[in-house]
Amino acid sequence: MYRLLTKNRLESFTDGVIAIVLTVLIFNVKFPNNPSFSGALQVGNLLLAYMVTFIFIAAIWVNHHQVFARAKKINIQVIWANLFWLFWVTLCPSVTLWVGKYPMEVVPGVCYALVYFMWSVSFSILTNVLGQANSEDKTFKIGVLQDKRSRISIFLSVIAVVAVPFFPPIAVGIRFIISALWIFSPISRNHIKRGGASIDH
């Protein structure tokens, strides 16, 4: 076990980074000085992109906690895999702002889809590395490593990248579908036990 950084400290660090990401995300939404519906429509696309991204980040934050609640130990590989995943999470506000301002442009849509594609890849890497660190824990293997949502997310993200040149808004639409996947099909309906406490799902 990597003793310089405990599992709880890694989770706390991750929580702090995600909190900053969400703060930066809302700072990108600036309402116009025009106090009318037409003024609100000017930021309609950006608000939509913000809503989808916020829901997605909230969903991944919950699932990140679910995964780490099952893990009994971490190592240096887990720490680096978590940092690699966080790198792609921190790019979310920038690509969200870009695609929100230019919803019908191909390049912002492709960048948006690519960032979230890499998020799916990096989260899959993180769960696999955690699985290696907890290879003796059958509960972790059954509850996390057999979960297929990361693979489905990668598949849908590839579709988004390919389809964006033909219809740029599909990047945000597919991201919304992926968010729903992570929200409405939790890792387990059973209790997740940690430190004697249980979390119901």
Which pLDDT does position 38 carry in this prediction? Answer: 63
Which pLDDT does position 190 carry in this prediction? Answer: 45
Amino acid of residue 143? G
> CA separation (Å) from 52 to 47, 58, 99, 158, 182?
9, 10, 12, 18, 13
Which pLDDT does position 31 carry in this prediction? Answer: 67
Amino acid of residue 172? V
Rounded to two decimals, what is the model's pTM?
A: 0.80
Which pLDDT does position 34 carry in this prediction? Answer: 65
Tokens for 185, please give them.
């099909």
Stretches where the chain sits below pLDDT 50 are 1-2, 188-201
Chain-centre distance for alpha carbon 101 = 21
